[in-house]
Amino acid sequence: MKKVLIIGATSAIADHCARIWAARGYELFLVARNEERLQTILADLKVRGAVKVNKFCVDINCIDQHVELLNSAESTMSGVDIVLLAHGTLSNQESCEQSVEETMGEIQTNALSTISLLTLIANRFETRKLGTIAVISSVAGDRGRASNYVYGSAKAMVTVFTSGLRQRLFKSNVSVVTVKPGFVDTPMTADFKKGLLWVKPSLIANKIVRAVDRRRSEIYAPAFWFLVMIIIKIVPMWIFKRMRRF
């Protein structure tokens, strides 16, 4: 029975991942800041057949609590095999443009808190020479765009950090999976107009679980975003900067 730590467990994608792992009989340790929502998900997983599910309520931006969080997960489950980092917020670009404080807050939530956790988790897995770390980044981190460059910058930091971490941990048999979703129809994007490129969180969750099983390095979810982002990245800057805000 594998033991999975899910950080940001109340996100729609993480919830669907938890359902898949629960159905397999894995032991789960859920982490999020919303106690009520966390308890609801825990109860739902038990109804779905999960045998062992525990929780830890914390604001991931409280970096000084990260060691306690990891210690609690490891002691409760007698070890951790898989970690999924799925926490984050969708930045309000226009507000960030007017506020240094809000911009720094978004960078803290979407990048620095993740990097703190990755550093601690990596050291533990490296010592054990075993484990898989899956991190949700975003296609937004592949090229800065006027419509979301604060969020994109945070995700770019995560993508580059996991790339280096992956190379470092390869010799220790530790897998680092970077997941780059495109447009996902979740409560966080409820106000967005949906189109053909939008997908359900259950689809992303299935791809994450498969990537973890196969110890992949980096995936675009869905895969067509790989081609979309190649096109976006090769547009010359003299053209790109004249394109409408998107």
For the chain, what are the domain ranges?
A: 3-240
Going along the chain, which residue ranges are E strands? Answer: 3-7, 27-32, 53-57, 82-85, 131-136, 174-181, 218-221
The answer to whether 171 and 127 have CB atoms below 8 angstroms apart is no
Residue 74: the pLDDT is: 97
Give the burial class of 167: count Cβ atoms within 10 A of its Cβ; 0-12 exposed, 13-18 middle, 19 or more buried: exposed
Residue 43: the pLDDT is: 93
User: Rounded distance, CA 170 to CA 234, Å?
Assistant: 30
Domain 3-240 has CATH 3.40.50.720: yes
pLDDT-based confidence at 196, cuts 50/70/90? confident
User: Rounded distance, CA 141 to CA 40, Å?
Assistant: 32
pLDDT-based confidence at 245, cuts 50/70/90? low
- Is 203's pLDDT higher than 70? yes
Nearest Cα neighbor of 119 from 74, 164, 171, 152 is 164
Give the pLDDT confidence of 32-56 residue by residue, as tens digits. Answer: 999 999 999 999 998 888 889 999 9
The answer to whether 100 and 145 have CB atoms below 8 angstroms apart is no
The answer to whether 180 and 219 have CB atoms below 8 angstroms apart is yes
Residue 193: the pLDDT is: 79
Give the pLDDT confidence of 69-94 residue by residue, as tens digits. Answer: 999 999 999 999 999 999 999 999 99
User: Rounded distance, CA 161 to CA 3, Å?
Assistant: 24
Give the pLDDT confidence of 120-170 residue by residue, as tens digits. Answer: 999 999 999 999 999 999 999 999 999 999 999 999 999 999 999 999 999
Residue 150: the pLDDT is: 98
Six-digit token string for 123: 């050291």
Residue 57: the pLDDT is: 97
User: If you average pLDDT over residues 202-219, what whole number do you get?
Assistant: 97
Give the pLDDT confidence of 170-195 residue by residue, as tens digits. Answer: 999 999 999 999 989 887 777 777 78
Q: Which residues pair with 7 in a beta bridge?
A: 31, 85
Q: At what angle do helices 149-169 and 113-128 cross, to 10 degrees?
A: 10
Average pLDDT, the chain: 95
Residue 73: the pLDDT is: 98
The answer to whether 50 and 29 have CB atoms below 8 angstroms apart is no
